[in-house]
Amino acid sequence: MKTLFIFLIFLPSLFYANTKVTLQLNWLNQFQFAGYYIAKEKGFYSDVGIDVDIKEFNTDINLLDEINSNKAQFAVGRSSLLIEKINGKNIVALAAIFQNSPLMLLVRENSNIKRVEDLKNKKIMITTDAKMSASILAMLYSHGLNPNDYKVQKHSFNLEDLISGKTDAMGSYLSNEPIRLEDKNIKYNILHPKDSGFDFYSDILFTSSKFIDKNPKLTEDFYTASIKGWKYAFNNMAETADLIYKKYNTQNKSLIHLLKEGEVLKKLAFHEDGEIGCLDESKLKDIVNVFKVLGITNTDTNIDEFIYENNNHKRYRFEISYEESKIILLISVFVILIILVILYFLAKNKESRELLHTVINSTDDMVFYKDKNFKYLGCNESFQKFVNKEESEIIGKDDFNLFNVSIARMFRKQDIKILKDKEQKVYEDWVIYDDNEVLFQTKKIFFSYNKSSKNGILAISRDITALYKIQKKLKEQSYIDELTQVYNRKSYNRRIKESLDSFKRYKTKFCIAMFDIDDFKSINDTYGHDIGDKVLTEMTKEIQSYIRKTDFLFRVGGEEFVILFPNSVLDEAHIVCEKIRKKVSELKMIDNRVVTISIGVTQVKQTDTSKDIYERVDKLMYLSKHNGKNQSTIE
């Protein structure tokens, strides 16, 4: 009987026990994996029925084998996972925690290595696997350094080798070795692939499509809880560092060191839209192209299959008007015609080439062509004017002789792709030259000359700065209220949808407040519409000084406005709204008349749609008006 009683007590746990999964890290415990520790310790995983075992890396572990053998259900890898995907491995990338890789080359300041070119004939300590060091190898290659120009040393992962001079440059992480050198008061320089245009992802959370197909909800829950953990970790750095220091500190790092790690990694983590984990299709294609240039692969892969279907990646579409599209089409046609003319004349004799110069010098667009070693073969007068050099000073030179390093690196990266892919590409790049910032649209194509025995790059570049500014202004106008210069109703519709999506995925609470100017019709009728407009502009300007930079103010009607408070609860939003209401009533916008507002405030609910939350806050605002005006009502 006693045995039966004990069995009955523990029977529910047999049915409701959390699903156990293993997360395999790709290095030792440190802030680099903070989001996963937080998700485990704060109960984000257990809240969705998952019990996660987080395993440190050791040299005997092969991440892909762990996933394929189901010893681990999830793992953390690098951008080299793309190569494994190309090679037929069953991989799905759930999220890229770091949008910019912390991997770089670290050098001592007293080594006098200040530029990538200074590494010629130097010792470089990197992992011998080209896939793992691809961004560094691409950086070296783009600066004209081939493998025989430097000595690769097997990585010892011992910082003393750099300090003592055993090596000249060491593959390191921004969040680790530089902090250790600072602790020792040793000055250093960083050579980062991103500065040369090679922007890789890092710490890609991945699994297999086989596992996802069998466990779709488990995968989505793990993904969602992990992202929630990362957001919490970066929003609560001190708490997170303290947790790692006390519970996950197998490397015996100091609390200060862990905090510094977190500060560095936070700068690398967030996508431009403020999200964590985003995987962008175009960026992944660029990474594959780098692998191609390095000869690691010559094959493409289906990027869409590589990215987890629920990942928060977005494809941005730049909207232009019908009139602008016609302008761009005309420009494109004109550019293509010029390129065809140039190719025709390049294949002809000397007399034809002289005629070519006459043709290309008649255009304001810059025309130039290079050989396969990136040396200039020719250019038109517009290009000469831009670089402020005669043609004789340009022929035989490369971009590093004509431009500053950052511009030259960008051009070199593009040219490498053209020669590798042998197809035309269009680039839009901001270039700062002689203190002027100019946006160029450049079409580059691969071409052969001297009866196809030699290859090169032909390009035509046009200044589209004015067009860009027109497009930018039109885009801003489509989201900005013309009178008050706050966001308009169209912008509100977009933001509220994003906020609801974030709430449903990450439980990120938010509030909205709607307010209306009391008796505004009377103000317009008594004082005229000019005074009414003055009230609107002065009031919105004042309100913007009372809300956070992360809050949004929208004009959704004539005298109706909405404030969106991200990451806020009802009490917090109500306090701010009360301050705004009182401040508006104190403003002297009209002589001998007090202007007041009535406010409704609400917090997002689990079942809310954009229509639900708008109708609810609208009713709350009208309750404030009905009950006497100049007050706020909350729910």
Tokens linked to 424: 């035309």
Cα–Cα distance measured from residue 282 to residue 298, given in angstroms and rounded to the nearest whole number: 18
- Token pair 């070519």: residue: 356
Phi then psi for residue 19, to 5 deg, are -75, 130
Other beta carbons less than 10 A from residue 302's beta carbon:
9
- Token pair 């770089």: residue: 104
Cα–Cα distance measured from residue 305 to residue 309, given in angstroms and rounded to the nearest whole number: 8
Residue 559 appears among annotated catalytic residues: yes
Secondary structure class of 35 (helix, strand, coil): helix
DSSP 117-179: GGGTT-EEEE-S-TTTTHHHHHHHHHTT--GGGSEEEE----THHHHHTS-SEEEEETTTHHH
Other beta carbons less than 10 A from residue 122's beta carbon:
16
Going by DSSP bridges, is the β-strand pair 188-191/202-207 parallel, antiparallel, or unpaired?
Answer: unpaired
Tokens linked to 290: 């780098």
Taking a C-beta distance cutoff of 8 angstroms, is the pair 34, 237 a contact? no
Taking a C-beta distance cutoff of 8 angstroms, is the pair 392, 416 a contact? no
Cα–Cα distance measured from residue 190 to residue 174, given in angstroms and rounded to the nearest whole number: 9
Q: Tell which residue, 351, 397, 387, has the closest CA to residue 367.
A: 387
Q: How far is CA 328 from CA 166, 382, 426, 445, 547, in A?
A: 56, 21, 13, 19, 40
- Token pair 């040369």: residue: 196
Other beta carbons less than 10 A from residue 289's beta carbon:
17
Taking a C-beta distance cutoff of 8 angstroms, is the pair 447, 419 a contact? no
- Bridge partners of 125? 153, 170
Cα–Cα distance measured from residue 564 to residue 307, given in angstroms and rounded to the nearest whole number: 31
- Bridge partners of 172? 104
- Token pair 């708008």: residue: 614
Largest CA distance in the chain: 109
Cα–Cα distance measured from residue 298 to residue 285, given in angstroms and rounded to the nearest whole number: 13
Q: Angle at which helices 405-421 and 281-293 pack, to 10 degrees?
A: 80
Q: How far is CA 23 from CA 36, 83, 92, 222, in A?
A: 9, 21, 15, 10
Cα–Cα distance measured from residue 217 to residue 512, given in angstroms and rounded to the nearest whole number: 31
Taking a C-beta distance cutoff of 8 angstroms, is the pair 562, 617 a contact? yes
User: Pick the catalytic residue: 559, 560, 586, 615?
Assistant: 559
DSSP letter, residue 270:
B
Taking a C-beta distance cutoff of 8 angstroms, is the pair 195, 404 a contact? no
The full 3-state SS of 618-634, as one line of letters, equals: HHHHHHHHHCCCCCEEE
Residues catalogued as catalytic? 559
